[in-house]
Structure 1
Amino acid sequence: MSLLEGKVVCITGASRGIGRACAIESAKHGAVGLILHYYGDDETENGINALKQEIEKDYSHSKVVTVPGDIADSKTSVKVVVAGVDAFGRIDVLVSNAGICPFAEFLTMPHPTWDRTRSVNLDGTFYITQAVANQMKAQTPQGGSIIGVSSISALVGGELQCHYTPTKAGILSLMQSCAVALGKYNIRANAVLPGTIATDINKEDLSDEGKRAGMIKRTCLGRLGAPDDIAGPVVFLASDLAKYVTGASLLVDGGLFVNLQ
């Protein structure tokens, strides 16, 4: 089943991890256009160019446009929308995924660490959501689906995440309010809350074998998540199967949150 057949999908932070998996899954499900944002220095051998080549080779129906830039800069979101509309004429789906988590102790955390985490994770999500929503409102037919990649950290605390968890809670809240603000334009807004997903963002943290084993044990399914575990739920929320779903939050954590006892 091609859940995104004919749709144009925009993904921020698309070169690695969850964003990369969402790009591939979107192409697999029939997306005809992919607007892939990446941070400007990620043009390595396995970076955005390799992803573009892989998608256009394996999924000939999908065309890819890549847009570099710092998502914390509002001008980047404008560039992303302009590039997407120039290439494809519209944007049907936004996956706001770009984010960082530089683990840090709360009491000694440099204020620039707080500022940078907030500006990338929360400000960046606001900027791209606003820019894409304006395009979705203007296009004919109106509408689209916006998915904000939040986190289980929106619901629980973390000793080294006092700067990170508030941004993810903010993304969850932003999607809820956008669902209210944008419903009249047939724009849906939902949040996906990943649990512990093995990506570059926590590679160093999970290199501690004891901690990794503990995190695995805490899940009901007995394993850490992989990026494609998030991509499937994202495609569902982007698709017409979820056409009456807005303002929702989908926890995708292998049972981590409920496994208290």
Structure 2
Amino acid sequence: MSLTPNKIVCITGASRGIGRACALEFVKQGASGLILHYFGDDATTEEVRTLQKEVEEKGVRSVAVPGDMADLQTSKKIVELGVKEFGRIDVLVSNVGICPFSDFLTMPLETWERTRQVNLDGTFYIVQEVSIQMKKQVPQGGSLIAISSISGLLGGAQQCHYGPTKAAITNLMQNCAVALGKYGIRANSVLPGTIATDINKEDLKDATKRDYMINRTLIGRLGVPEDIAGPVVFLASDLARYVTGASIIVDGGLFVNFQ
């Protein structure tokens, strides 16, 4: 049985990592259309073309939309082109995020501002734009899923800019659940632990730190993007039809491992 049959799914930051894994899992679970956002530089353009070819070989239509999520117009374009192609949006996975690791005392103001603009402002923009569309789809409604982080619950010496944006994203989805429930729109967040993606590739090249993070987990390994895709698809599915305002930690037990 497919979990998301015939769903139209919008994913930001879909060209790689968690976004790409989510796209492929939604295809596996029966989604019929994908709206794939990507940044638009040479690397992500090539990545999204490869992804589109892969999903379309499986019989799933897709539309790819480039742009900087820090720009409100990108979110407007994503929704406009997605609805033009498919007529509706059933699921949003707000996944885009950056974390340029930086020491707090020497962090340039530009690093703080850019991280906030992409992570928090960008999430707000796309959630609002998709919600406006989903409201028009009453009584169908929809499912909003934001990728937050356990960094919004814990501290990190080089994440004094990143953690606050993720805490805010978790709280944003809680408030959206309250504001949008009457329209049949559910809003939830997923809080990954240490997932091996491009966002922390350089940081995890430090073998000592990598081993430390692995040992902090109870599963005995770092996460991979596919570990996040499963919970995301669950939240998008009718199995989670009574789940809204929730924050699901997906970290291999890292958060609870006090010892």
| Structure 2 length-normalised TM | 0.98
Deviations 1:207-250 (A, max 9, x none): 11111011000100000000000000000000000000000000
What secondary structure sits across from 2:201 in the alignment? helix
In the TM superposition, what are the counterparts of 1:246-257 in structure 2 within 5 Å?
246-257=244-255
Deviations 1:171-229 (A, max 9, x none): 00000000000000000000000000000000000011111011000100000000000
Partner residue in 2 for 1:97: 95
**Residue identity in the other structure for 2:134:** M
Q: How far apart are residue 142 of structure 1 and its match?
A: 3.5
Partner residue in 1 for 2:178: 180
What secondary structure sits across from 2:191 in the alignment? strand
Q: 1:250 to 1:116 in 2, by over 3 A?
A: same
**RMSD across aligned C-alpha pairs, in angstroms?**
1.0
Partner residue in 2 for 1:114: 112
Q: 1:249 to 1:45 in 2, by over 3 A?
A: closer
Q: How far apart are residue 139 of structure 1 and its match?
A: 2.0
Partner residue in 1 for 2:31: 31
1:42, 1:135 → 2: CA distance? Answer: 30
**Residue identity in the other structure for 2:18:** I
Paired residues, number: 259
2:250, 2:257 → 1: CA distance? Answer: 13
Structure 1: runs of 5 or more not aligned = none
Deviations 1:99-138 (A, max 9, x none): 1000000000000000000000000000000000000001
1:235 to 233, 236, 241: 233
1:211, 1:7 → 2: CA distance? Answer: 40
Q: Which moved more, 1:64-73 or 1:136-145?
A: 136-145
2:149 to 118, 137, 151: 151
2:225, 2:69 → 1: CA distance? Answer: 21
Q: Which moved more, 1:66-75 or 1:39-48?
A: 39-48
Partner residue in 2 for 1:47: 47
2:102, 2:155 → 1: CA distance? Answer: 13
In the TM superposition, what are the counterparts of 1:63-142 in structure 2 within 5 Å?
63-142=61-140
What secondary structure sits across from 1:18 in the alignment? helix
1:105, 1:126 → 2: CA distance? Answer: 26
1:16 aligns with 2:13: no
Is contact 1:144-1:187 (8 Å) kept?
yes
Q: Percent identity?
A: 70
